[in-house]
C-alpha cells in the first residue's frame, strides 16, 4: 500500500501551522531552507545509505566511513557549499567520523589558541584538508584532571625545539577521535618544561604521520584503541592511542596566543587568561548542547509516531484497540521528553549567542564574561546530554519490544549518543565546576559587585530566601512569574544552604569534597532554571503562525511543571511550596498533556526529519510500520537460507543425540 499515510487522521487533529513551527524549530527561514535542502541531498544519494551499518564488521565499517567522508568532502567542493551548508550536510550524513574532530576541535584549537602567524600558516592547510588533525588531550591515566596530564614538552635552547615525550604508560594519549588511523597532525596537550621548571599545560601542533605514505613519523607510536559500545555506532570513529619517544618539533609549533616561549627559553604571559587554553572545550560544549536537542528530538519523533500507530487493549465490540499514545502513563513519559527537546533547542540557540558574545569580548580583551560562559557551557552540556541519553533509552522502552530491534534506530542512536555524557568533560565533573561558580557567587554577595547574566537572580537573594508561592489553583501554575519565582527560589535556597554548610569547614576544599553530592544537586537546579527561563524568553519573541505560540506555551508549561513534579522534594524541602501547591502543579501538568495529545504528531513533524535521517521503521513518516518490519526481517542475512549455516555441524548432531537419549 505505497503512498498511504497511516498517520493522516492524527495529522488532521493539528491545531497549529506546522510549516511555521518548522521555521521556529530551525531558528530562521534561511536555516530551515538550508537544512531541508541538505537533508534531501543526503537522503537521495545512495552513497549515504546507512541501514546496513549495524551489520558491518569493524574494518568494513571504518572503510565505509572513510568512503562516505571522502565523498562528502568531494560533494562539498563540487557544489561549492558554504560552511553552514557543509556543516548541515555532515550532520545529516549521521556517522561519527575523523572529520568531526578535524573541523570541530583541531581547527578551533588553532583558531582560538594560535597567534595570527600560526593561524596564517596552519589554517589554509587544514581548510583544504591537506593536513588532517585531531585533538590529543586525554591520556590513559588522566582525562578529567587536565592539570594532571603527564606528556612533557621540554624546550631545547640548543636547537630551538620542543622535545615531546611520553614518560610513562599512563601518559599515553588515549581516546582522541581521528587519531587511531587517519590524522596526520594533532594539537597535543603537554606540560611545558623550561630549564627544568614546569609551566602548566599547553597545546602543541605535532605532525604524527608522513604526508607521503601515512606511516607514523620516527618516535611516534599510534594505533586505534579498539571496539567501543554497541554495533555500528561510535565504532565508525578511530579513537586512538599515541606515544612519543623524544619527538622534536620547532618552537613555533607551540600554540602561543596565551603564553609565548622566547628564543632563549623564557615564558612570556600575554594579557589573555590562562583558562583560554581550555577555550576549545568551551566551544565544543556549546555545540554539544545544540546537538542534544537534535538527538532527543529524533528519539521522541520515533516514539511519538510509533505510539500513535501501536494499539493495545481497550477494544469494544471488535473495534480497534486503544492507541498507546492515549494512555496517560505513556503521555507522562513521552510528552516531557518532547517538551525537553524544544526546551533544549531554545537554550542551545541562546548558548550559541552567549558563545559568540564572549568570543567578541575576548577579541577586545574583555574577559569578564568568561567564568559565566564556562559555567553555562559546562552545566548545560552536562544537563542536556544526561537528559538526552536517558530520554533515548526511555523512548526505546516507550516502543515496547520493537524498540529493541536495530531497525527501530533507537539502539544505535543510544550507543552513538551516550558517550556525550563523558566526552568533553564527565557530566558530574562539569556540574562541580558550576557548583564552584555558584559558591563563589554566593560568597561575593554583598561585596558591592552585583551578579549579572544567568546568575543575576542571586542579586535578589533576600527576597528569594523569604518569599512563598502564591499559587491557589492549578491554573495559577500557567503564570510564567509563578513558575520562574519557584525555580529561582529553589536554586537560590539550595545554593545558600550548601554555602552555609561549607562555611562550617575550616578547609574549604575538604568541605567541597564532603558536600559534593549536594553541590551537584544545587548546580542542576541552577541549570534547570536557565533552561526554563530561556524558554520563557523565547515566548516573549514575536512568533508568527496560527497557534504556534500557543503550542510552545503548552510545551513550556509541560517542561517546567514536569521538572517541578519530578523534583518536588527540592521545592518542598526549601519550603517555597506546600504539598497542596505541588499537587496543583501535577493537576495542571495532566491537563497540559491533554492539550499536547492532538498536536503530538504535528509537533514531531515540525522537526522536518527525513526517513533517511531518522533511520527507523517505527518512526517513518507514513506510519506504515508493520509491513516494513516484516520486510526488514526477511532482509536479515540469517534469512538468506532456510537452513542456517551450522545446521549439519551443530543442530543435526544435537537432535540426533536427543533422539538416542529418548530411545534409551
Ligand X SMILES: CCCCCCCC/C=C\CCCCCCCCCCCCCC(=O)SCCNC(=O)CCNC(=O)[C@H](O)C(C)(C)COP(=O)(O)OP(=O)(O)OC[C@H]1O[C@@H](n2cnc3c(N)ncnc32)[C@H](O)[C@@H]1OP(=O)(O)O
Lay out the site mask for ligand FAD across 226-245 (x = CB under 6 A, - = otherwise): --------x----x------
Residue 580 phi, psi (nearest 5): -65, -45
Q: CB under 6 A: which stretch of 131-139, 302-310, 451-459, 599-607 binds ligand FAD?
A: 131-139
Measured N-to-C along each axis, helices 410-417 and 370-398 cross at an angle, to the nearest 10 degrees, of 160
From the CB of 529, what's the least distance to ligand FAD, in Å?
23
> Is residue 177 a contact residue for ligand FAD (CB under 6 A)?
yes
Residues 21-40 that bind ligand X (CB under 6 A): none
Residue 428 touches which of ligand FAD, ligand X, none (CB < 5 to 8 A by kind)?
Answer: ligand FAD
Are 21 and 553 in contact by the 8 Å Cβ rule? The answer is no
C-alpha cell, 349:
540557540
Which position's Cβ is nearest ligand FAD? 143
Instruction: Please name every residue paired with 187 in a beta bridge, in sequence order, or none if there are none.
Output: 135, 205
Binding residue (CB under 6 A) for ligand FAD from 138, 293, 340, 384:
138
Residues 506-525 that bind ligand FAD (CB under 6 A): 516
Is 177 annotated in a binding site? The answer is: yes
From the CB of 30, what's the least distance to ligand FAD, in Å?
31
Residues 6+ apart with CB under 8 A from 80: none
Instruction: Please name every residue paired with 185 in a beta bridge, in sequence order, or none if there are none.
Output: 133, 207
Q: CB under 6 A: which stretch of 34-42, 130-138, 605-613, 635-643 binds ligand FAD?
A: 130-138
Are 195 and 186 in contact by the 8 Å Cβ rule? The answer is no
Lay out the site mask for ligand X across 419-438 (x = CB under 6 A, - = otherwise): ----xxx---x---x--x--
> Is residue 425 a contact residue for ligand FAD (CB under 6 A)?
yes
- What's the Cα-to-Cα distance from 639 to each of 125, 290, 307, 618, 635, rounded to whole Å? 49, 40, 29, 21, 7
Cβ atoms < 10 Å from Cβ of 187: 27
Are 295 and 409 in contact by the 8 Å Cβ rule? The answer is no
- Which CB sits closer to ligand X, 441 or 599? 441
Cα maximum dimension of the chain: 94
Residues 6+ apart with CB under 8 A from 45: 75
- Which CB sits closer to ligand FAD, 50 or 102? 102
Among the options 20, 412, 424, 553, which is catalytic? 424
Q: CB under 6 A: which stretch of 141-149, 332-340, 502-510, 578-586 binds ligand X?
A: 141-149
Residues 355-394 that bind ligand X (CB under 6 A): 370-371, 374
Are 343 and 399 in contact by the 8 Å Cβ rule? The answer is no
Residue 435 touches which of ligand X, ligand FAD, none (CB < 5 to 8 A by kind)?
Answer: none
> Is residue 104 a contact residue for ligand X (CB under 6 A)?
yes
- Which CB sits closer to ligand FAD, 510 or 631? 510
From the CB of 144, what's the least distance to ligand FAD, in Å?
3
Catalytic site residue 424? yes
Residue 202 phi, psi (nearest 5): -140, 165
Is 138 annotated in a binding site? The answer is: yes
Are 138 and 104 in contact by the 8 Å Cβ rule? The answer is no
Binding residue (CB under 6 A) for ligand X from 42, 54, 86, 461:
86
- If we measure between CA atoms, which residue out of 606, 602, 619, 597 comes closest to residue 396? 619
> Is residue 623 a contact residue for ligand FAD (CB under 6 A)?
no
Distance CA 190, CA 434 (A): 26
Find the angle CA(219)-CA(224)-CA(230) to the nearest 5 degrees.
165
> Is residue 426 a contact residue for ligand FAD (CB under 6 A)?
yes
Distance CA 30, CA 614 (A): 22
Which pairs count as long-range contacts for 124-129, CB under 8 Å and 24+ apart, including other chains?
A: 126/102, 129/73, 129/102
Residues annotated in a binding site for FAD:
138, 177
Residues recognised as catalytic: 424
Residues that bind ligand FAD (CB under 6 A): 101, 135-138, 143-144, 175-177, 234, 239, 419, 422-426, 428-429, 432, 516
Please report, as ranges, the residues that interact with ligand X according to CB under 6 A.
Answer: 69, 72-73, 76, 86-87, 90, 93, 97, 99-100, 103-104, 135, 137-138, 143-147, 177, 275, 278, 281-282, 284, 287, 370-371, 374, 423-425, 429, 433, 436
Amino acid at each position: 500500500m505505497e503512498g498511504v499515510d497511516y498517520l493522516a487522521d492524527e495529522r488532521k487533529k493539528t491545531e497549529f501551522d506546522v510549516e511555521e513551527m518548522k521555521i521556529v524549530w530551525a531558528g530562521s527561514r534561511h536555516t530551515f531552507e538550508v537544512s531541508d535542502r541538505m537533508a534531501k541531498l543526503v537522503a537521495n544519494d545512495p552513497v549515504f545509505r546507512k541501514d546496513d551499518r549495524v551489520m558491518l564488521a569493524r574494518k568494513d565499517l571504518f572503510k565505509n566511513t572513510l568512503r562516505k567522508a571522502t565523498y562528502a568532502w568531494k560533494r562539498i567542493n563540487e557544489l561549492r557549499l558554504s560552511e553552514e551548508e557543509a556543516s548541515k550536510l555532515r550532520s545529516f550524513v549521521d556517522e561519527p567520523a575523523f572529520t568531526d574532530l578535524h573541523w570541530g576541535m583541531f581547527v578551533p584549537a588553532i583558531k582560538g589558541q594560535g597567534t595570527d602567524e600560526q593561524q596564517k600558516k596552519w589554517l589554509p592547510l587544514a581548510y583544504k584538508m591537506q593536513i588532517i588533525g585531531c585533538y590529543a588531550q586525554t591520556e590513559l591515566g588522566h582525562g578529567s584532571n587536565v592539570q594532571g596530564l603527564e606528556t612533557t614538552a621540554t624546550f631545547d635552547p640548543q636547537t630551538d625545539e620542543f622535545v615531546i615525550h611520553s614518560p610513562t604508560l599512563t601518559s599515553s594519549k588515549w581516546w582522541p577521535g581521528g587519531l587511531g588511523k587517519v590524522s596526520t597532525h594533532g594539537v597535543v596537550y603537554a606540560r611545558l618544561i623550561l630549564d627544568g621548571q614546569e609551566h602548566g599545560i599547553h597545546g602543541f601542533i605535532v605532525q604524527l604521520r608522513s604526508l607521503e605514505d601515512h606511516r607514523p613519523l620516527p618516535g611516534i607510536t599510534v594505533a586505534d584503541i579498539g571496539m567501543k559500545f554497541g554495533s555500528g555506532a561510535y565504532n565508525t570513529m578511530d579513537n586512538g592511542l599515541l606515544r612519543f619517544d623524544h619527538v622534536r618539533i620547532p618552537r613555533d609549533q607551540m600554540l602561543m596566543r596565551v603564553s609565548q616561549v622566547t628564543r632563549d627559553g623564557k615564558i612570556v604571559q600575554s594579557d589573555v587568561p590562562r583558562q583560554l587554553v581550555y577555550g576549545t572545550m568551551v566551544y565544543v560544549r556549546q555545540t554539544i548542547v545544540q546537538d542534544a536537542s537534535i538527538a532527543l528530538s529524533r528519539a521522541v519523533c520515533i516514539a511519538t509516531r510509533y505510539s500513535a500507530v501501536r494499539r493495545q487493549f481497550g477494544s469494544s465490540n471488535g473495534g480497534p484497540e486503544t492507541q498507546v499514545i492515549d494512555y496517560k502513563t505513556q503521555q507522562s513519559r513521552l510528552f516531557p521528553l518532547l517538551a525537553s527537546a524544544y526546551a533544549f533547542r531554545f537554550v542551545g540557540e541562546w548558548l550559541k549567542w552567549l558563545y559568540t558574545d564572549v568570543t567578541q569580548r575576548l577579541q577586545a580583551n574583555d574577559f569578564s564574561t568568561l567564568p559565566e560562559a564556562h559555567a553555562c557551557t559546562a552545566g548545560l552540556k552536562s544537563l542536556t546530554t544526561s537528559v538526552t541519553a536517558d530520554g533515548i533509552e526511555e523512548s526505546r522502552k516507550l516502543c515496547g519490544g520493537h524498540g529493541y530491534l536495530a531497525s527501530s534506530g533507537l539502539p544505535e542512536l543510544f550507543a552513538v549518543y551516550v558517550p556525550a555524557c563523558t566526552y568533553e568533560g564527565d557530566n558530574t565533573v562539569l556540574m562541580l565546576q558550576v557548583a564552584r561558580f555558584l559558591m563563589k557567587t554566593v560568597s561575593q554577595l554583598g561585596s558591592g559587585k552585583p551578579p549579572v547574566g544567568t546568575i543575576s537572580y542571586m542579586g535578589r537573594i533576600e527576597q528569594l530566601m523569604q518569599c512563598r508561592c502564591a499559587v491557589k489553583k492549578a491554573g495559577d501554575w500557567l503564570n510564567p512569574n509563578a513558575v520562574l519565582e519557584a525555580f529561582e527560589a529553589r536554586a537560590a535556597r539550595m545554593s545558600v544552604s550548601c554555602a552555609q554548610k561549607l562555611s562550617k569547614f575550616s578547609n574549604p576544599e575538604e568541605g567541597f569534597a564532603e558536600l559534593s553530592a549536594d553541590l551537584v544537586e544545587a548546580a542542576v537546579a541552577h541549570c534547570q532554571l536557565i533552561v526554563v527561563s530561556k524558554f520563557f524568553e523565547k515566548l516573549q519573541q514575536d512568533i508568527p503562525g496560527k497557534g504556534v505560540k500557543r503550542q510552545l506555551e503548552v510545551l513550556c508549561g509541560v517542561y517546567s511543571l514536569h521538572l517541578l513534579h519530578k523534583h518536588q522534594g527540592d521545592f518542598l524541602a526549601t519550603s517555597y511550596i506546600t504539598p497542596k501547591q505541588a499537587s496543583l502543579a501535577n493537576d495542571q501538568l495532566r491537563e497540559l498533556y491533554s492539550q499536547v495529545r492532538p498536536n503530538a504528531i504535528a509537533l514531531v513533524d515540525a522537526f522536518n526529519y527525513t526517513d533517511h535521517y531518522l533511520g527507523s521503521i517505527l518512526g517513518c513518516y507514513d506510519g506504515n510500520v508493520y509491513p516494513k518490519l516484516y520486510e526488514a526481517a526477511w532482509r536479515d542475512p540469517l534469512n538468506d537460507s532456510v537452513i542456517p549455516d551450522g545446521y549439519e555441524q551443530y543442530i543435526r548432531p544435537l537432535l540426533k543425540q536427543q533422539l538416542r537419549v529418548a530411545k534409551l
